[in-house]
Amino acid sequence: MTTTGTPPLPKAELHLHIEGTLEPETVFELARRHDVALPYASVEELRAAYDFTDLQSFLDVYYANMAVLRTRDDFAALASAYLRTCPEQGVRHVEMFFDPQAHTARGVAIGDVIGGLTDAIEHHADDVSAGLILCFLRDRSAAEAEETLRAAEPYLDRIVGVGLDSAEVGHPPSKFTSVFERARGLGLKPVAHAGEEGPAGYVTEALDELGVLRVDHGIRAIEDDALVARLVRDRTPLTVCPLSNVRLACVPGIGLHPLPEMLAAGLNVSVHSDDPAYFGGYADANYAAVREGLGFTDDQLRTLAANSITSSFLDDEAVQRLL
């Protein structure tokens, strides 16, 4: 969406947790279908619980809501509902995160999770291209991450990369050095959440220990001049999620978000929506937030959108087609 009435800028969505597109209405619909008891009397009551004070307070609700996702069809419907919104927002390509451990721990087969998401991706392939990034939950053990990667091996042709998410502080990237090494050996592209709530040092660790090709969030990198110089030199992409950072109190308000400073420093930043059903909106809402809350110009918005495309894992030819 733009204020000028022109079509939305073509862009790629590189930081989106597909489970974070689970809207409150769908939570209730699936709870009824699968006879799952919810601790909320209504959609409004559930929405009222989206009053987060930090990352953990969000994750508690986020994982609890996922209990309604049970079948391959549920995952297909979830991803389909999201992919259907992409064309109207100018989103031409998606590299979506998913959290297999959050589902297998509830008895859902990883093949149903990946199968359902893949069904939706194939169904919408004429309108938007999409790939999957398997995330390890960093607040669970490295051994469990290894098991998860092993369980995903029959489906590797459907997965572009591996990521690292969930509670950051106290769970540094170095906890997962070995599983990332194995994932890279399998041809998967490594990315990781770092420097969202955790320190700039976790961004350095993600680069050194995990060999990440993109940093998710990375807003606290700006606190470390040597790290900024390194990220600028290497043009390492940082997938920034402004509305998420505000709603999880990682920044005190949109007007104080470090994105302008990051862009001015020469960092390769792009803007994404993280968990749009929880944080107040999809790609268009995040672009609107930086335009209205940070005064970004049309030129700056074009830079963000172009960065999102060039930072994707698409090949050069596909990138050129989207630019």
Site residues for ligand HPA per CB under 6 A: 17, 20, 55, 165-166, 193, 196, 244, 274-275
User: How far, rounded to the nearest angstrom, does the alpha carbon of residue 197 sit from its chain's CA centroid?
Assistant: 15
Say which entry of Zn ion, ligand HPA, none residue 93 contacts (CB below 5 to 8 A, set by partner kind): none
Q: Point out the residue whose Cβ comes nearest to Zn ion.
A: 274
Residue closer to ligand HPA by CB (options 222, 314) is 222
Instruction: Kindly state the smallest distance separating residue 19's Cβ from ligand HPA, in Å.
Output: 7
- 4 is written with which tokens? 């000028």
Instruction: Kindly state the smallest distance separating residue 193's Cβ from Zn ion, in Å.
Output: 5
Q: Are strands 268-271 and 91-98 parallel, antiparallel or unpaired?
A: unpaired
Stretch that binds Zn ion, among 25-33, 36-44, 67-75, 271-279 (CB under 5 A): 271-279
Say which entry of Zn ion, ligand HPA, none residue 175 contacts (CB below 5 to 8 A, set by partner kind): none
- How many helices (H) and strands (E) the chain has is answered by 16, 8
Is residue 197 close enough to count as binding Zn ion by CB under 5 A? Answer: no
Helix or strand run (H / E) with residue 214 = strand 214-217
Site string for Zn ion, 142-161 (x = CB under 5 A): --------------------
Cα distances from 252 to residues 62, 78, 272, 279, 308, in angstroms, run 22, 32, 19, 15, 25
Decide if 133 contacts 118 (C-beta within 8 A): no
- Nearest-CA neighbor of 13 among 194, 242, 272, 192? 272
Residue closer to Zn ion by CB (options 274, 284) is 274
Residue closer to ligand HPA by CB (options 193, 220) is 193
Say which entry of Zn ion, ligand HPA, none residue 112 contacts (CB below 5 to 8 A, set by partner kind): none
Instruction: Kindly state the smallest distance separating residue 7's Cβ from Zn ion, in Å.
Output: 27
184: left (phi over 0), alpha (psi -120 to 50) or beta: alpha
- For 109-147, b/e burial (b = at least 16 CB within 10 A) is ebebbbbbbbbbbeebeeebbbbbbbbbbbebebeebbe
Residue closer to Zn ion by CB (options 95, 274) is 274
- Nearest-CA neighbor of 90 among 247, 314, 301? 301
Among 89, 274, 279, 301, indicate the residue that binds Zn ion (CB under 5 A): 274
Say which entry of ligand HPA, Zn ion, none residue 24 contacts (CB below 5 to 8 A, set by partner kind): none
**Residue 196 annotated among the catalytic residues of the structure:** yes
User: How far, rounded to the nearest angstrom, does the alpha carbon of residue 132 sit from its chain's CA centroid?
Assistant: 11
- 235 is written with which tokens? 């043009």
Say which entry of Zn ion, ligand HPA, none residue 196 contacts (CB below 5 to 8 A, set by partner kind): ligand HPA
Residue closer to ligand HPA by CB (options 269, 322) is 269
Which of 19, 23, 168, 196 is the catalytic position?
A: 196
What residues make contact with Zn ion under the rule CB under 5 A?
274
Q: Which residues are catalytic?
A: 196
